[in-house]
Structure 1
Amino acid sequence: MLTNGAVKAAAAQTRAYKMSDAGGLYLFVTPAGCKSWRLKYRWQGKEKLLVIGRYPEVSLGEARGRRDEAKEQLRAGADPSTSRDILETFEQLARAWFAHSKNGWSPAHANDVLASLERDVLPAIGARAAGSIEPRELLQVLRDVENRGRAETAKRLRQRLSAIFGFGIAEGLVQIDPAQHLGRAMISVRLPRPQPALTNLDQCRQLLAACDRTSVRAPTKLASKFLALTAVRLDPVRGMRWGEIEDIDGDAPLWRVPAERMKLKKLKKADDRFAHLVPLSAAAVAVLRDAARESGYEGLPPADALVFPGRDRGRPIGEGAIGDLYDRAGFAGRHVPHGWRSSFSTILNEAMAGDPAARADIDRALAHSPKDKVEAAYNRAQLLDRRHALFHRWGVLLAG
Structure 2
Amino acid sequence: MLTVVQIKALKPREKAYKVADGKGLYLAVQPSGSLIWRVKFRYHGVEKKITLGHYPAIGVKEAREKLEEARELLLGGVDPVAVKAQAKLQAEIAAATTFSVVADEYIMKMELEGKSPATLKKARWFRDLLDPHVGRRPVASVTPHELLAALKRLERKGHHETAHRLRAFSGRIFRYAVSTLRAQHNPADILRGALIAPRVKHHAAVLEPVKVGELLRAIDGYSGRIETRIALQLAPHVFLRPGELRKAEWSEIDLGAAVWRIPAAKMKMGQAHVVPLSRQVMDLLHKLRALKNSGGFLFPAFHTSLRPMCENTLNVALRRLGYGGDEMTSHGFRAIASTLLNESGLWHPDAIERALAHSDRDHVRAAYHRGAHWAERVKMAQWWSDHLDQLRDGAEIIYPQFGSA
User: What is the TM-score when the length of structure 2 is the normalising length?
Assistant: 0.67
Q: CA deviation at 1:183?
A: 2.9
Deviates more, 1:122-131 or 1:253-262: 122-131
**Aligned-pair identity (%):** 28
Task: Tell me whether 1:147 sits opposite 2:156 in the alignment.
Answer: yes
Deviations 1:144-188 (CA, angstroms, capped at 9, x unpaired): 33223333333233333333433343344443333321233x331
Q: SS in structure 2 opposite 1:40? A: helix
Q: Indicate how the Cα distance of structure 1 residues 310 and 382 shifts in structure 2: closer, same or farther if over 3 A, else same.
A: farther
Q: CA deviation at 1:350?
A: 1.1
The amino acid that maps onto 2:246 is: R
Deviations 1:183-229 (CA, angstroms, capped at 9, x unpaired): 33x33122331001122222112112112223211111111101111
The amino acid that maps onto 1:328 is: R
Deviations 1:317-359 (CA, angstroms, capped at 9, x unpaired): 33222211211112212111111111111111111x2x4x521
Contact 1:195 1:336 in 2 (8 A): yes
Task: Tell me whether 1:169 sits opposite 2:178 in the alignment.
Answer: yes
Equivalent residue for 1:135, pick from 144, 153, 160 = 144
Q: CA deviation at 1:88?
A: 1.0
Equivalent in the alignment of 2:262:
257
Contact 1:90 1:130 in 2 (8 A): no
Report the Cα distance in structure 2 between the residues aligned to 1:109 and 1:166, rounded to whole angstroms.
18
Matches within 5 A, 1:277-356: 277-293=274-290, 295=291, 305-312=296-303, 314=305, 315-332=307-324, 333-351=326-344, 353=345, 355=346
Q: SS in structure 1 opposite 2:188? A: coil
Contact 1:231 1:366 in 2 (8 A): yes
Q: Indicate how the Cα distance of structure 1 residues 278 and 109 shifts in structure 2: closer, same or farther if over 3 A, else same.
A: closer
Deviations 1:338-396 (CA, angstroms, capped at 9, x unpaired): 11111111111111x2x4x5212211212222354331245541643322211111111
Q: CA deviation at 1:125?
A: 4.4
Pair member with larger Rg: 2
Task: Tell me whether 1:40 sits opposite 2:84 in the alignment.
Answer: yes
Q: SS in structure 2 opposite 1:393? A: helix
Deviates more, 1:376-385 or 1:140-149: 376-385
Deviates more, 1:111-120 or 1:254-263: 111-120
Q: Indicate how the Cα distance of structure 1 residues 25 and 215 shifts in structure 2: closer, same or farther if over 3 A, else same.
A: farther
Report the Cα distance in structure 1 between the residues aligned to 2:97 and 2:350, rounded to whole angstroms.
46
Q: Indicate how the Cα distance of structure 1 residues 166 and 213 shifts in structure 2: closer, same or farther if over 3 A, else same.
A: closer
Kindly report the root-mean-square deviation, in angstroms, between the aligned alpha carbons of the 2 structures. Answer: 3.2
Equivalent in the alignment of 2:32:
none
Q: SS in structure 2 opposite 1:278? A: strand
The amino acid that maps onto 2:88 is: K
Report the Cα distance in structure 1 between the residues aligned to 2:133 and 2:342, rounded to whole angstroms.
51
Q: CA deviation at 1:127?
A: 5.0
Equivalent in the alignment of 1:391:
381
Q: SS in structure 1 opposite 2:187? A: coil
Q: CA deviation at 1:49?
A: 3.8
Report the Cα distance in structure 1 between the residues aligned to 2:318 and 2:107, rounded to whole angstroms.
39
Q: Indicate how the Cα distance of structure 1 residues 281 and 146 shifts in structure 2: closer, same or farther if over 3 A, else same.
A: same
Contact 2:119 2:268 in 1 (8 A): no
Contact 1:222 1:291 in 2 (8 A): yes
The amino acid that maps onto 2:303 is: D
Matches within 5 A, 1:1-400: 20=73, 22-24=78-80, 39-41=83-85, 48-50=88-90, 87-89=93-95, 92-104=98-110, 105-120=115-130, 122-126=131-135, 128=137, 130-184=139-193, 186-248=194-256, 253-265=258-270, 274=272, 276-293=273-290, 295=291, 305-312=296-303, 314=305, 315-332=307-324, 333-351=326-344, 353=345, 355=346, 358-381=348-371, 383-400=373-390
Q: Indicate how the Cα distance of structure 1 residues 89 and 378 shifts in structure 2: closer, same or farther if over 3 A, else same.
A: farther
Report the Cα distance in structure 1 between the residues aligned to 2:102 and 2:208, rounded to whole angstroms.
50
Report the Cα distance in structure 1 between the residues aligned to 2:128 and 2:143, rounded to whole angstroms.
19
Q: Indicate how the Cα distance of structure 1 residues 171 and 229 shifts in structure 2: closer, same or farther if over 3 A, else same.
A: closer
Report the Cα distance in structure 2 between the residues aligned to 1:128 and 1:320, rounded to whole angstroms.
38
Report the Cα distance in structure 1 between the residues aligned to 2:261 and 2:180, rounded to whole angstroms.
42
Which portions of structure 1, spanning 4 or more consecutive aligned residues, are displaced by more than 6 angstroms?
A: none
Contact 2:116 2:266 in 1 (8 A): no
Contact 1:90 1:126 in 2 (8 A): no
User: What is the TM-score when the length of structure 1 is the normalising length?
Assistant: 0.68
Q: SS in structure 1 opposite 2:192? A: helix
Q: SS in structure 2 opposite 1:183? A: coil
Q: Indicate how the Cα distance of structure 1 residues 200 and 246 shifts in structure 2: closer, same or farther if over 3 A, else same.
A: same
Report the Cα distance in structure 1 between the residues aligned to 2:139 and 2:313, rounded to whole angstroms.
47
Unaligned 5+ runs, structure 1: 2-16, 27-38, 52-80, 82-86, 269-273
